[in-house]
Amino acid sequence: MGLVFVANKLAVPRSLGEWVKQIAHGDHASRAKMTEMIEMLYWLNKAKDLESKVKECIVCFQAGKNLHSVIPQNEKNKLPVTERPLELLQIDFFGPIIDEKGKKKQKLVCVDNHSK
Ligand SMILES: [Zn+2]
Write out the chain in H/E/C secondary structure.
Answer: CCCCEECCEEECCHHHHHHHHHHHCCCCCCHHHHHHHCCCEECCCHHHHHHHHHHCCHHHHHCCCCCCCCCCCCCCCCCCCCCCCCCCEEEEEEEEEECCCCCEEEEEEEEECCCC
Q: How far is the centre of ligand 1, averaged over its atoms, from the C-alpha of 77 (Å)?
A: 28
Would you place residue 5 in the very low, low, confident or very high pLDDT band (cuts 50, 70, 90)?
A: very high
Taking 80 as the threshold, does the pLDDT of residue 30 lie above it?
yes
Output the pLDDT for position 62: 80
Distance 75 CA to ligand 1 centre (A): 30
Pick the range with the lowest mean pLDDT from 7-16, 25-34, 70-79, 89-98: 70-79
- Other CB atoms within a 10 A radius of the CB of residue 2 amount to 3
Distance 55 CA to ligand 1 centre (A): 8
Candidate from 27-31, 83-87, 93-97, 98-102 with smallest mean pLDDT: 93-97
Separation of CA 62 and ligand 1 centre (Å): 9
pLDDT band at 97 (very low <50, low <70, confident <90, very high): confident
User: Taking the model in full, what pTM does it have?
Assistant: 0.57
> Residue 61's closest CA among 32, 21, 28, 16?
28
Query: Count of CB atoms within 10 A of residue 111's CB?
Result: 16
Determine the pLDDT at residue 6. Answer: 93
**Contact of 35 with 49, CB cutoff 8 Å:** no
Q: Where are the domains of the chain?
A: 5-74, 79-112
Angle between helices 14-24 and 46-55 (to 10 degrees): 50
Q: How far apart are the CA of 110 and the centre of ligand 1, in A?
A: 17
pLDDT band for position 69 (50/70/90)? low
Task: Tell how far the Cα of 88 is from the centroid of ligand 1, in angstroms.
Answer: 24
